[in-house]
A and B are shown apart, each in its own frame.
Chain A
Amino acid sequence: MRLLLIEDELDIQSFLRCSLEEAGYKVDVAADGKTAERIAVEGYFDVLVVDLGLPDQDGISLILRLRQLGVKAPVLILSARRSVDDRVRGLEQGGDDYLTKPFALAELLARLRNLIRRNNVPANEATRLRVLDLELDLLRREAIRGGEMLQLTPQEFVLLEYLCRNAGRVVTRSMILDQVWGMRIQPDTNVVDVHIYRLRGKVDGKGLQPLIRTLRGVGYVLKDR
């Protein structure tokens, strides 16, 4: 996967580059709009990460210009601004995504995956999800582990479904809040932890291998091996 990172702050640029390469992306870097334009037109990229505050031009103008030049790759917008601009909303509706700084790396990776998947294969509408011995029937809203039906509330099922869809990958609390409850909020209480704790009590029964792991300071992961 080729990725073009357009970010002028060297600190952020270097750690993003390392983390993204670690995650398996082949990363090209541009520190200003002009360079970005040149690199983006010359090569093919699967996804672009664009910081809005570039030294020579506005990030959104750059994105619009790249679109004019025929660059079709989806864009993940990084913004340190406080309010989400209407133009960002426009891009979001056009299939791009945005993330406000500071962000968790796991969330950045998840959003990048979503963007690439959305752009390439049409979302595969499976009706069943299977992770190890856990099986979800998405139509009947039932979860079965080791042959036994789990007694889940509808909300717990949605949460488990989200974990299963991201099995093997880290999901952060804010990603869970965004995807399961549809809210970009930052509660200063442990609301998400309690949900996970309850879900874990039902999914990881006695004598079973624990599937839901907590990564302290980062989030949760549903083990897939």
Chain B
Amino acid sequence: MSSRTGKPGMRSAAWRISLWATLAFACGTMLVFVFLHRFVANDIQRRSDAWLSGEVEVLGDVAQRTPKDALYDRVVGEVAELAGREVPDKIQSENTSNDSVFFLQRGTDGSMKLWVGPGNGEANLQAIRTASIPTGRPMDLEVSGHRTPFRVASIRMSDGSSIYLGLSERDERRVLKNLRLRFFLLWVALVLLGFGIVFFTTRRMLSHVRKITDAASRIGSSDLNTRVPTTLRNDEVAQLALTLNHMLDRIENSMRQLHTITDSLAHDLRSPVTAIRGKLESSLSAASEGEQAEAIVSAIDELDRLTDFLNKSLDVAEAKADALRLNRTAIDMDDLLRVMVDLYEPSMSEKGLHVNYSGNGPVRIVADAALVHRMIANLFDNELKHVPAGCHIEIGLQAEGETAMLRFEDNGPGFAPEIRPHIFERRVKGRGSNGHGLGLAFVEAVVRAHGGVISASNHDGDKGARIDISFPLASNEYVASSPVAASGAN
């Protein structure tokens, strides 16, 4: 199995975790600021309102006491101007004239009695007329010609006139705008910093997880003795590595047990078979031609079949447990199939079968040569035994992408419908087959052990069987670094 764990990029867990964490962090800090901003804005408002109310009362008092003579305008105007110089939160503007404060006294008939402030005050008077400002409580007043509204407090005099004191909210807004800007810059910096810290720490942590995944995926059934990397830290990731390694220990142990069992079974059965075969051969050379020799010959044949059966069943058993031991070398399948066709062609034409191999150029896989040889021989034996005379057998091999595709096709009777779903199981064989029903189970076992895929099907109308096998191709580095196993003669 080959795991493709390239650069994780935008889809990595580290990326997602930091994105969500940053989002939560950004929302939280933003919320805090909104509250802070409201608090500050209210406080500024409260302070300027207090000032306005106080000043308007003082001015009202001054206006009350000042006799309404020729100097009235001047006295009240001076007082109003002096008051305007003590505006809270005032930002010193370039021009010396104070344009953030106005003082207006309106007569009972609604006309302007006194004006202190920038311009002639007509616009302000117009705005005050339409807005009707209650005494005591300051309120906002939009004045045409000014971008920011004025905060205006008023007081009613005993003579029926009203005094209005207006303070531009320009400075207040500027303070708040400054606050917002600074906060925003700080917020962006904080969020970026937070994202960076979260991203790099999670990535460091997850890179270790990725190392574990890589190592674990590289541990196939063939090299169970390697382990995933562990760290000295005692965190969750280290625990994961340790747990994985413990699990691998157990798997390796049961695998070793299985190998011990199959090996000793093979050994215990092969030794007596060797002795029996040897004795039979000795007595064969002693016996002359005739019935006795015939019996010995058939006994030897049976013994060889028994040995073959034993080998195959143990191989199939191990492969079913994903425990087949492989001695991998680079094999050219094209070369191998040509040799096999050469080997089997006479037997096939003797039986009236036509075999045709079509391949185009070398197709290299990395596999256990002995097992693959036996697997291909099994496929040929299978065709030879089950396809009736006069049929054609087509064998095709080609490299498609990263797989080698091998196909055995014939126009014989095909797989019997009752066995087709179980064709790769042990002891499943067609009617009239005198084999031990291990052939295709063995083929499947070998294919699986090498990470390949096998499928068996019938052509349309159940005429002819077809077996498709795909193997992962050898990577280029492997072919370059290892000698191709010789499959030709001598």
**Chain A interface residues (CB < 8 Å from chain B):** 9, 11-12, 15-16, 18-19, 53, 80-84, 86, 89, 100-105, 155, 158, 177, 179-191, 194-195, 198, 216-218
Chain A, Cβ-Cβ closest to B324: A83
Chain B, Cβ-Cβ closest to A216: B297
CB distance from B321 to the nearest CB of A (A): 14
With contact pairs A81-B267, A181-B339, A216-B297 given, residues A194 and B275 touching in the complex (Cβ less than 8 Å): no
Main secondary structure of the interface of B (DSSP, over half): helix
With contact pairs A12-B278, A15-B278, A194-B347 given, residues A217 and B489 touching in the complex (Cβ less than 8 Å): no
Q: Does B377 contact A (CB under 8 A)?
A: yes
Q: How many residues of chain B get a CB closer than 8 Å to chain A's CBs?
A: 56
Asked whether A82 lies within 8 Å of B262 as measured between CB atoms, the reply is yes
Chain A, Cβ-Cβ closest to B385: A189
Residues of B within 8 A of A194 (CB): 346-347, 350
Asked whether A19 lies within 8 Å of B305 as measured between CB atoms, the reply is no
Asked whether B266 lies within 8 Å of A80 as measured between CB atoms, the reply is yes
Residues of B within 8 A of A16 (CB): 278
> Could you give, for residues 301-326 of chain B, a 1 whenever the CB lies within 8 Å of some chain A CB and a 0 otherwise?
10111011001001100000000010
Q: How far is the CA of A217 from the CA of B294 in the complex (A)?
A: 9
Of B276, B278, B281, B314, the residue contacting A82 (CB under 8 A) is: B314
Asked whether A183 lies within 8 Å of B272 as measured between CB atoms, the reply is no
5 of the cross-chain contacts (CB-CB < 8 Å) are A12-B274, A105-B278, A105-B281, A188-B435, A217-B300
Residues of B within 8 A of A188 (CB): 305, 308, 381, 435
With contact pairs A18-B282, A185-B374, A188-B381 given, residues A12 and B293 touching in the complex (Cβ less than 8 Å): no
Residues of B within 8 A of A53 (CB): 267
Asked whether A80 lies within 8 Å of B487 as measured between CB atoms, the reply is no
Q: How far is the CA of A181 from the CA of B311 in the complex (A)?
A: 21
> Could you give, for residues 332-347 of chain B, a 1 whenever the CB lies within 8 Å of some chain A CB and a 0 otherwise?
0000000100111011
Chain A, Cβ-Cβ closest to B299: A217
Q: Does B179 contact A (CB under 8 A)?
A: no
Asked whether B263 lies within 8 Å of A179 as measured between CB atoms, the reply is no
With contact pairs A185-B374, A216-B297, A217-B300 given, residues A9 and B346 touching in the complex (Cβ less than 8 Å): no
- In the A-B complex, the 6 residue pairs with the smallest Cβ-Cβ separation, listed nearest first, are A217-B297, A11-B275, A15-B278, A102-B274, A80-B270, A101-B274
Max chain B C-beta neighbours (<10 A), residue from A82, A104, A158: A82
Q: How far is the CA of A100 from the CA of B298 in the complex (A)?
A: 21
Q: How far is the CA of A19 from the CA of B277 in the complex (A)?
A: 12
CB distance from B376 to the nearest CB of A (A): 8
CB distance from A211 to the nearest CB of B (A): 19
Residues of A within 8 A of B300 (CB): 217-218
Q: How far is the CA of A180 from the CA of B267 in the complex (A)?
A: 29
Q: How far is the CA of A155 from the CA of B340 in the complex (A)?
A: 12
Residues of A within 8 A of B280 (CB): 217
CB distance from A91 to the nearest CB of B (A): 15
Of A80, A183, A184, A198, the residue contacting B271 (CB under 8 A) is: A80
Of B279, B304, B308, B487, the residue contacting A182 (CB under 8 A) is: B487
Q: How far is the CA of A158 from the CA of B267 in the complex (A)?
A: 35
Asked whether A155 lies within 8 Å of B263 as measured between CB atoms, the reply is no
Q: How far is the CA of A9 from the CA of B268 in the complex (A)?
A: 11
With contact pairs A53-B267, A194-B346 given, residues A102 and B293 touching in the complex (Cβ less than 8 Å): no
Asked whether A158 lies within 8 Å of B489 as measured between CB atoms, the reply is yes
Max chain B C-beta neighbours (<10 A), residue from A82, A89, A186, A188: A188
